[in-house]
Structure 1
Amino acid sequence: MTTVARPVPAQVLDPARLAAVRRTGLLDTGAEEPFDRLTGLTATLLETPFAFVTLVDESRSFWKSCIGITATDPADRQNTVEQSFCQYVIGAAAEVIIEDARTDARTYDNPSIDLMGVVAWAGFPVFSADGHVLGSFCAVDTVPRRWTAHDVEVLRTMSRAAAGEIALRTALEDAQSAADRAERSAQKANALARTLQESLLPVTLPEIPGVQVAARYRRGAGGDEVLGDFYDVFASTGDSWSAVVGDVCGKGPLAARATALARYTLRAAAARCAVPSRNLATLNTALREWVTVDKPYLTAVYATLRPHPRGFSVRVSCGGHDAALIRRADGTVRALGRHGLILGWLDNPPLRDQRTVLHPGDSLLLYTDGVTEARRPYDQEFFGIDRLCHLLAQTPARDAETLATAIETAVAGHSDGRAGDDTAILVLHIPA
């Protein structure tokens, strides 16, 4: 009996989507480290033989990165849309999780089951900055597989990282074009840098049961460059949560890529481990394996919170970063976290964890040196750690927002509103 091929989803042929794919400039290009790092890490974490970053035009699915495929010629790193499982992701504009393609009603007749041995398949859409599905980020297994919540979270994180890399490249090309138009280049570059900076920060902060979270971010002077301060809050293993604040050494595209690398590496590591020092060590390895000549370095403070009978247990590790500060309900302030070594410098930096319990009314502060190194204009005096600790002790800690606002206001007042460096502030508060 002859099987009639099913038509591909209409969304595949949408002219606006196809234009967005062409704008990436990635079709028919060679393998590149930023994408291969994502697929390689995914294949390792999920223990799958294949992982792909794809872009799909009207006729084929092009494998920009393909772990498990040895072909190096771009002409050999593709299959037709009809053979591709990416068509289902584009049609749904959402993730597609398949445990056994041979019995799934959506895919049982897909030619790649026989051509490539695809059995289990899980893919997430890779979106353009304007919301079009460019292709997918997927993992493939050759045996039936029940994809776990951990597998799904890794793929979700990696798909966003791939989309971020593509958006960064597109934006940088736009910035170069803007630079050629002299009169408007400064304004466009400034707006671009702001957009890129914001894209490297979480869109919203998660709701953690029993914990209030507040963040502040202020861009430093020089507005036409992307700097490297970042913060993030995300779920970890079990019922634990992770919070991180970091500072990449440098600025511009290298800083932006290092920031993106830090965020997706730590999120992926947290899906398997809740120990801060181990996850910072994973990030250190990723930085050391960076294949470009200019190696990135960064500092970071990483905290893990877990429910405790008396509040929340907290464990902190620092990689060359200022320690976290704990403000107790009675106003006393103490540091938590040994300094450690900057990440990306040595293969095995000394990283240690310190722990304590946050009780109701206590707060945890993570921050970058834009806080303590804010300068007073008339004598260049730093805001400093002593002034910060005094401010924490004297501020009624009713909630996370109160503390974050107090710090932001005090630092801006000390520097007369002139930010010489990026400033990131992250407060976690246990309500009384």
Structure 2
Amino acid sequence: MTRSTQDHPRVLDPVRISAVYRTRLLDTGPEVAFDRLTGLAATLLGTPFAFVTLVDETRSFWKSCIGVSSTDLADRQNSVQQSFCRYVIEADAELIVDDARVDPRTADNPSIELMGVAAWAGFPVRSPDGHVLGTFCAVDTSTRHWTPHDIEVLKTLALAAAGEIALREAVENAETATIHAQAATTRANEATADARAAANQAQQLADTLQESLLPPHLPQVPGVEIAVRYRRGAGGTAEVLGDFYDVFPSARDTWAVVVGDVCGKGPQAAKTTALARYTLRATAGRFITPSRNLATLNTTLRAWQTKDPRFLTAAYAALRLHPKGVSAQISCAGHEPALIRRADGRVESFGHHGVAIGLIDQPVLRDKRTVLHPGDSLILYTDGVTEGRRADSSDLFGIERLHRVLAGNGATSAGRLVDAIDNAVTTFTAGHVHDDTVILVIHLPASR
């Protein structure tokens, strides 16, 4: 066994290396999808360098590298021996180094002299099956203490980079399966079963991709109950649609709750959804004001140059414990205002209808505040609720009908109120879901 194999057994793991080659990203040029993430990291952390790397058996290839101006692929890589990424791969965990010269893990690394690395922080970028493909990292030429906020930003953006890679693989698989299905339909009758199997595989891949764009579970938020209902729109094709929701911690003991709707469907809508979720999570680590975080997302989306530009609507609420219950602040970007059902049954609109994200450079976004008291509920939803209709009718469920459902319902939990809304829409539409639907309820128990 060679010395390099002894030093880097996980780096040289053939299964891991196979996963790296499967991305088809080695020796490819810069792409906006990754550069926007590293650019965001450098801006938020104030570092001169930020990288998305892929590590094969001999080198660390810099798929994205803020701070390195050369587009020559030979200048966008270094050897495994010079790379800090090998420590992440071997440990199968993040590496946070405040002073690379004195940290025993990195003190002998040649890049300290070659690249002037003084501080380094990075997280694994994993394949869908969990192998470490490389890292998402930030590099400083001065020693520094990486704050919890810095670490959370890097962790979030590493997930975003991994999500982009997983998204591409899933879309490629889905497109391949769809092509096979289409080809199968042109064959003789005996191939019908193959066509159905391929179409089902494409649909399953689309379903898996859709699920990857939503949080796997809702966190426990102090003082409130949260419940959500998500229904995919009908259509009969292996397409990913654009409704999303998220709940995550923000700065200063605040929690963020977001519901959004991306224009369109398919891979581009999925990428926009991923960008929105990860950008909002990153900015929420610094700012709690909903309009400011939505404005940052707008800047990011406008800078994301694509041949098929997208916009989205969103309602962003910030929740924080208050002596009388929970303080709530909301900003709506092209999205219907949220609703509040007070404990006595009154229903109020909550939020100003601002401009959608991604349409103009500086949209007018306003915030609105209130206090939720014990027994109150905050309801965020997408237009799949109010625009619900039967397959053979143009009559919409509408906002007035939603108000009546809330006012006439005595549900005492978030889950029951979600059920009541969902049941009312399902009954009205006779089970026809023509568009994605999100219903998210935050409820303050009366016995709080």
Name the TM tier (shorter chain).
over 0.9
Bigger shift: 179-188 or 44-53? 179-188
Matches of 1:396 and 1:145 in 2, distance apart? 54
Alignment deviations for residues 331-372 of structure 1 (CA, whole Å, 9 cap, x no partner): 111010011111111111111111110011111111000011
Bigger shift: 52-61 or 72-81? 72-81
TM-score for the superposition, normalised by structure 1 = 0.97
Aligned to 2:219: 206
Amino acid at match of 1:88: Y
Aligned to 2:280: 266
Matches of 2:21 and 2:434 in 1, distance apart? 39
Aligned to 2:362: 348
- Is 1:192 paired with 2:205? yes
- Check conservation: 2:325, 2:444, Cα contact below 8 A: yes
- Check conservation: 2:339, 2:349, Cα contact below 8 A: yes
Report deviation, 1:15: 1.4
Picking from 292, 307, 316, the partner of 1:302 is 316
Gaps of 5+ in 1: none
Report deviation, 1:316: 0.8
- Is 1:8 paired with 2:21? no
- Check conservation: 2:174, 2:203, Cα contact below 8 A: no
Q: Report matched runs for 1:274-289 at 5 Å.
A: 274-289=288-303
Picking from 269, 281, 286, the partner of 1:255 is 269
- Check conservation: 1:316, 1:336, Cα contact below 8 A: yes
Report deviation, 1:144: 1.2
- Check conservation: 1:327, 1:334, Cα contact below 8 A: yes
- Is 1:151 paired with 2:150? yes
Q: Percent identity?
A: 65
How many residue pairs end up in the alignment? 429
- Is 1:244 paired with 2:243? no
Report deviation, 1:211: 1.4
Gaps of 5+ in 2: 182-194
Aligned to 1:134: 133
- Check conservation: 1:228, 1:249, Cα contact below 8 A: yes
- Check conservation: 2:177, 2:201, Cα contact below 8 A: yes
Report deviation, 1:9: 3.0
- Is 1:218 paired with 2:231? yes
TM-score for the superposition, normalised by structure 2 = 0.93
Matches of 1:431 and 1:8 in 2, distance apart? 56
CA RMSD across the alignment = 1.4
Matches of 2:262 and 2:393 in 1, distance apart? 28
Amino acid at match of 1:363: S
Aligned to 2:30: 31
Aligned to 1:400: 414
Report deviation, 1:396: 2.1
Report deviation, 1:259: 0.5
Report deviation, 1:7: 4.9
Q: Report matched runs for 1:45-194 at 5 Å.
A: 45-182=44-181, 183=195, 184-194=197-207
Bigger shift: 6-15 or 90-99? 6-15
Alignment deviations for residues 313-341 of structure 1 (CA, whole Å, 9 cap, x no partner): 11111101000000111111101001111
Aligned to 2:384: 370
Bigger shift: 182-191 or 335-344? 182-191
Amino acid at match of 1:112: S
Runs of 4+ in 1 over 4 A off after TM superposition: 4-7
The SS at the match of 1:58 is coil
- Check conservation: 1:27, 1:64, Cα contact below 8 A: yes
Report deviation, 1:189: 2.0
The SS at the match of 1:329 is coil
Matches of 1:231 and 1:157 in 2, distance apart? 16
The SS at the match of 1:419 is coil
Aligned to 2:249: 235
Matches of 1:14 and 1:246 in 2, distance apart? 41
Alignment deviations for residues 5-45 of structure 1 (CA, whole Å, 9 cap, x no partner): 89533111111111111100000000000100000010000
